[in-house]
Structure 1
Amino acid sequence: MGKGTHSYAADARNDSVIIDVNGEHFARPDAKVSVFDSGFMLGDGVWEGLRVHEGRIAFLSRHLERLYRGAKAIAMDIGISQEQMIDRLYAVLGANGMDGDGVHIRLMVTRGIRSTPYQDPRVVISTATIVIIPEWKDPVPETATNMLNLFTVHVRRGYPDVQDPKLNSHSKLNCITACIQATQAGADEALMLDPHGFVATCNSTHFFIVKNGEVWTSSGDYCLDGITRGMVIEIARDAGIPVFERNFSLIDVYGANEAFTTGTFAGLAPVGAVDGREIGTERGPMVERLQKLYLERLHSDVSGA
């Protein structure tokens, strides 16, 4: 059912959800890709997580810009335009009758089918594989107020010359390893440091602290350019809240007034403890204010206001 910021209630409708594979619609049991697909074989591809609000996909242009930018960076041709991708997204939503709230979409693009198990892209013999999985999935209401417990793991966010953390690739083994370590420590999610020992991000969300009325997040050098992360920075600045992208250490975290995570699925979620150090026992005023501002921006985006 997911844990922490990804906790959700199971929905029986997902057993018969319709999935788009390369522009064709399949019932969930029939939606398949080849064992020679680049994503399955090598984690070679990029993806996006999308939320549907009021029948519209929130911040869609920003998500697609990141998707196509990532594909270009790894020399992968998605094969269809952004406008065609939008048509596919809304077509599969329509096929599922998903015209309201409570829907999450995983949009995945891989380099395509390989002729043999080998990493060289020159053995790819098909166009890109595009899969769109929409599900009835809403974060549990308590996510907005429940205090998350984070654990700092030994797994670091790496240098960009190894695998650039800004790339939203299918290769997520470092984040999975971090998640496993945090889970075994009894935490909801992992807090990950950069190669220099500064706070970078969580394994599946971004991390912020509040100190003396200021909002801090990492420099961004060693984390994904998160859509919700960027949106929170924007709305804070628009509201006159001092917000800084900077290096800071665990000492700053342990002494913070408030802390929170951001992500597409759950928006903003408060953090109560990190490594056993208590940050707070209930959602703080800054987190509550930013949650309200984020929901207002979300509504504005999907309504076209």
Structure 2
Amino acid sequence: MTHSTHAYAPDPRNDSILIDINGELFPRADAKVSVFDSGFVLGDGVWEGLRVYAGPDGKGVIAFLDRHLARLYAGAKTLDYEFPLSKTEFAERLYACLDANEAHDGVHVRLMTSRGVKATPYQDPRATITPPTIVIIPEFKTPSPDAGARGLSLFTVHVRRGYPDVQDQKLNSHSKLNCIMACIQAAKADADEALMLDPHGFVATCNSTHFFIVKDGEIWTSTGDFCLGGITRKVIIETAREAGVTVHERNFSLHDAYNADEAFVTGTFAGLTPVAEIDGRTLGAASGPMVAKLRGLYKERVANDIKDGRRVNFD
């Protein structure tokens, strides 16, 4: 991958990773789910992206795992299906998969769940005949330093973040077509990522990250009404406020974004990445003092979260 905040350098270790499917480990080439699976047939399921850092004993620790599991369970509740695992059992399975792969640092995990296998490819949840499908894919991935050095280019797309009565954007479901269409439009414009507006024309979020601007020493981000409840987004807001930085969760327009002193995006994989350009407008600083400060504070926050090593009891 050469574009976006998810750009990473290939790692040969990923060719031989073991993938957990419903508690059983499979080599990458043999890891498969049914063509009748709800996630494949309908995008019916919820998922999480997790970041792994080396803990004090050298073993991989998943940062902010409590928040990720809370969001996963909330999503499943909204979709009205129940996991066969407790949160503690989820954590144990995740760490067992990491250990089986000797994956302890510079690792990104895709935790995917679906309603389960269906008797026939039909949308009615009552056609589901198995417990939920749970897949854990750990990969050795570190963010490309290029994006952080040069800053991202964003392109404002026509695809909007919709109202929650159509599809609630707070739900981290497999159904990501609006984000995919936004990503395609941005790619056609040769941009790294799409900047998406809400139904009222205010800036909402990016297609796979959350968007922030800096104005006069203060941080602005959207109200959050039309975007996923991002874990990194929330951590950055909390951390900035604890450091005495004013953070506004408010409506603002492209005019404000074009004239920002700095801008950045957040996400689990890359943490905090500066933005250098929006719709051809060059910002005042691709990586200014606020971005540098927040990057340092976020690094400290991650270190504090993993300092005691693995935690598995979440129930």
Partner of residue 21, structure 2: 21
Q: 2:80 aligns with which of 75, 83, 86?
A: 75
Amino acid at match of 2:211: F
Partner of residue 207, structure 1: 211
Give TM-score, length-normalised by structure 2. 0.95
Instruction: Report the identity percentage.
Output: 66
Partner of residue 181, structure 2: 177
**Is 2:153 the counterpart of 1:149?**
yes
Give TM-score, length-normalised by structure 1. 0.98
**Is 2:40 the counterpart of 1:40?**
yes
Q: 1:64, CA displacement in angstroms? A: 0.4
C-alpha spacing 1:15/1:142, structure 2 compared with 1 (3 Å):
same
Amino acid at match of 1:58: A
1:222-262 Cα deviation digits (max 9, x unpaired):
00000000000000000000001000000100111000000
Structure 1 window deviating more from structure 2 (138-147 vs 219-228): it is 138-147
Matched residues in 1 for 2:157 and 2:257: separation?
A: 14
**Is 2:108 the counterpart of 1:98?**
no
C-alpha spacing 1:233/1:281, structure 2 compared with 1 (3 Å):
closer
Q: 2:62 aligns with which of 32, 57, 60?
A: 57
Q: How many residues align?
A: 304
Partner of residue 194, structure 2: 190
Q: Residues 1-305 of structure 1 correspond to what in structure 2 (within 5 A)? A: 1-54=1-54, 55-99=60-104, 101-304=105-308
Contact 1:151/1:191 (8 A) holds in 2? yes
Secondary structure, counterpart of 2:166 in structure 1: helix
1:98-144 Cα deviation digits (max 9, x unpaired):
12x11000000000000001000000000000000000111022333
Contact 2:154/2:193 (8 A) holds in 1? yes
Matched residues in 2 for 1:257 and 1:197: separation?
A: 21
Secondary structure, counterpart of 1:112 in structure 2: coil
Contact 1:113/1:124 (8 A) holds in 2? yes
Matched residues in 1 for 2:103 and 2:259: separation?
A: 44
Matched residues in 1 for 2:69 and 2:34: separation?
A: 25
Contact 1:143/1:266 (8 A) holds in 2? no
Matched residues in 2 for 1:15 and 1:96: separation?
A: 11
Q: 1:85, CA displacement in angstroms? A: 0.4
Contact 2:21/2:136 (8 A) holds in 1? yes
Matched residues in 2 for 1:189 and 1:13: separation?
A: 28
Structure 1 window deviating more from structure 2 (139-148 vs 255-264): it is 139-148
Q: 1:191, CA displacement in angstroms? A: 0.1
Contact 1:191/1:201 (8 A) holds in 2? yes
In angstroms, what is the RMSD of aligned CA positions? 1.0
Contact 1:48/1:67 (8 A) holds in 2? yes
Secondary structure, counterpart of 1:6 in structure 2: coil
Matched residues in 2 for 1:84 and 1:169: separation?
A: 22
Q: 1:281, CA displacement in angstroms? A: 4.8
Contact 1:273/1:280 (8 A) holds in 2? no
Secondary structure, counterpart of 1:4 in structure 2: coil
1:14-61 Cα deviation digits (max 9, x unpaired):
111000000000000111000000000000000000000111000000
Matched residues in 2 for 1:78 and 1:49: separation?
A: 18
